[in-house]
Amino acid sequence: MNTSLRAVIKGLSSPIMSNITKRLCSSSTYNFETLKVTKPRENVIQVELNRPQKRNAMNKAFWGEMVGCFNQISEDSDCRAVVVTGAGKIFTAGLDLMDFDGIQIMQSDTDVSRKAFTFRKLIRAYQETFTVIEKCSKPVIAAIHNACVGGGIDMITACDIRYCTSDAWFQIKEVDIGLAADVGTLQRLPKITGNDSLTRELTYTARKFYSNEAKEIGLISRIFDTKESMVEGALDTASLIASKSPIAVQGSKISLVYSRDHSVPEGLDHVATWNQSMLQSEDILKAVTAGMEKKEAVFSKL
Ligand SMILES: CCC/C=C/C=C/C(=O)SCCNC(=O)CCNC(=O)[C@H](O)C(C)(C)COP(=O)(O)OP(=O)(O)OC[C@H]1O[C@@H](n2cnc3c(N)ncnc32)[C@H](O)[C@@H]1OP(=O)(O)O
């Protein structure tokens, strides 16, 4: 941010503006029980699912913390790309079957319709846990090793880019525990793979599928031999993204997400409206000049 803008923002005294000032002028610290958040590279954040003893199963705390974490990342001007990894033996075992808000709702003896309303609120809240990844303007790369089960597929399908290890396997497990997947897989996977028939097969049968098939169907874009090489590869991609104009990268993400859910004419109209402002960015001159001079451009924080 340039000095005069900083001064103007600092001069504004309302509580909302002072929050904005804090956001723009200071870098974030992250503190979560189920997520380990680090900054392994310049302008890159790594979010590690961090319950290895429980195979990174998604417990009550996790569903809330993801929302807090990604909202914070969205506002963090020192972050331009994110890598999501899993600690320990596997990426994630999906929903924590022992620590799930639905258990209390099921056990309560309230009227069935009232229970239904409560369940609806819970499901909508759990959906938000992964939709925040899509809403986050910074590109998010999922780096998946070994198993990615149930809620794990919901999560990775909300990410921008997916890498995995050669030993990775995937399972849309929900029918095996008696439910229809409801936090994103059924909506996002067919759009990612463009294969409706296969999405239905994988959903109805809950059969495991492995890294090669995941790559063939377009769920995964790169396979690595080891977790270490995959995480390095994901961080390299994140660093490359972070070296580009944040105006260009974040505008691209917003346009891609919008266009996925709209017609081509609507998408074109949306990006025209977007770029009528963004084409005026200083980043364009910086990028073009650096390109001509064969130098690296340095872009201001966003
Ligand atoms: C509104 C709802 C929205 C969300 C819906 C989401 C739905 C889903 O995610 S459906 C899928 C649910 N997940 C499962 O059914 C997977 C169950 N786990 C396994 O099959 C295996 O654990 C796995 C193959 C993933 C890994 O096997 P491994 O041999 O490596 O580990 P284990 O010895 O089985 O487990 C180690 C400890 O972790 C605990 N654990 C594993 N998965 C879960 C889980 N999903 N929920 C709770 N806890 C889990 C396991 O109990 C062991 O704990 P401990 O006995 O204390 O050592």
Query: 180 with 270, same domain?
Result: no
Q: Is 143 a pocket residue for ligand 1 (Cβ < 6 Å)?
A: no
φ, ψ of residue 150 in degrees (nearest 5) = 50, -115
Q: In this structure, is residue 301 part of a structural domain?
A: no
Query: 86 with 226, same domain?
Result: yes
How much distance in Å is there from the Cα of 138 to the middle of ligand 1?
30
Indicate left, alpha or beta for 83 from its phi (over 0: left) and psi (-120 to 50: alpha). Answer: beta
Q: In this structure, is residue 51 part of a structural domain?
A: yes
- Nearest by Cα to 162 from 131, 137, 193: 193
Indicate left, alpha or beta for 157 from its phi (over 0: left) and psi (-120 to 50: alpha). Answer: alpha
Q: What pLDDT, in 10s, does the model give residues 118-158?
A: 999 999 999 999 999 999 999 999 999 999 999 999 999 99
Q: What is the pTM of this model?
A: 0.92
CATH number for the domain including 266?
1.10.12.10
Query: 125 with 272, same domain?
Result: no
DSSP character at residue 56:
T
Of all protein residues, the one whose alpha carbon is nearest to atom 53 of ligand 1 is 54
Asked whether the predicted pLDDT for residue 180 surpasses 80, the reply is yes
Q: Is 177 a pocket residue for ligand 1 (Cβ < 6 Å)?
A: yes
Query: 142 with 4, same domain?
Result: no
**Confidence at residue 5, expressed as pLDDT on a 0 to 100 scale:** 37
User: What integer is the mean pLDDT of 17-42?
Assistant: 76
How much distance in Å is there from the Cα of 122 to the middle of ligand 1?
21
**Confidence at residue 12, expressed as pLDDT on a 0 to 100 scale:** 37
How much distance in Å is there from the Cα of 56 to the middle of ligand 1?
8
Query: 40 with 66, same domain?
Result: yes
Q: What pLDDT, in 10s, does the model give residues 230-281?
A: 999 999 999 999 999 999 999 999 999 999 999 999 999 999 999 999 999 9
Beta-bridge partners for 38:
46
User: How far lies 190's CA from each of 20, 85, 184, 194, 219, in Å?
Assistant: 38, 23, 11, 5, 10
Q: What pLDDT, in 10s, does the model give residues 31-86?
A: 999 999 999 999 999 999 999 999 999 999 999 999 999 999 999 999 999 999 99
CATH number for the domain including 231?
3.90.226.10
Query: 184 with 37, same domain?
Result: yes
Give the other-Cβ count within 10 Å of 144's Cβ: 31
Query: 50 with 3, same domain?
Result: no
How much distance in Å is there from the Cα of 139 to the middle of ligand 1?
28
Q: In this structure, is residue 300 part of a structural domain?
A: no
Domain that includes residue 112, residue range: 31-243
**Confidence at residue 25, expressed as pLDDT on a 0 to 100 scale:** 42
* 27: confidence class by pLDDT, cuts 50, 70, 90: low
Cα atoms found within 13 Å of the Cα of residue 245, Cβ hemisphere only? 16
**Confidence at residue 264, expressed as pLDDT on a 0 to 100 scale:** 98
Query: 184 with 98, same domain?
Result: yes
Q: In this structure, is residue 297 part of a structural domain?
A: no
pLDDT above 90 covers a percentage of the chain that reads: 88
Last residue of a domain, which of 210, 228, 243? 243
Q: In this structure, is residue 182 part of a structural domain?
A: yes
Asked whether the predicted pLDDT for residue 20 surpasses 90, the reply is no
Instruction: Choose which residue among 34, 53, 55, 186 to substitute to test ligand 1 binding: the one with the highest number of ligand atoms within 8 A of its C-beta.
Output: 55
Report the C-alpha dihedral over residues 28, 34, 40, 46, rounded to 10 degrees: -90
* 28: confidence class by pLDDT, cuts 50, 70, 90: confident
Residue linked to tokens 């580009």: 244
Q: Is 251 a pocket residue for ligand 1 (Cβ < 6 Å)?
A: no
Query: 253 with 229, same domain?
Result: no
Q: In this structure, is residue 76 part of a structural domain?
A: yes
> What's the rounded Cα separation, in Å, for the pair 171 and 21?
44
Q: In this structure, is residue 48 part of a structural domain?
A: yes
Cα atoms found within 13 Å of the Cα of residue 207, Cβ hemisphere only? 10
Q: Which residues contact 118 (CB under 8 A, 6 or more apart)?
A: 105, 110
Query: 154 with 288, same domain?
Result: no
**Confidence at residue 19, expressed as pLDDT on a 0 to 100 scale:** 52
> What's the rounded Cα separation, in Å, for the pair 148 and 166?
13
User: How far lies 27's CA from each of 39, 75, 250, in Å?
Assistant: 11, 10, 19
Query: 171 with 196, same domain?
Result: yes
How many structural domains does the chain have? 3
Query: 40 with 145, same domain?
Result: yes
Amino acid at 69: C
Q: Give the position, in ligand 1's atom list, of the atom nearest the Cα of 123.
A: 1
Q: In this structure, is residue 298 part of a structural domain?
A: no
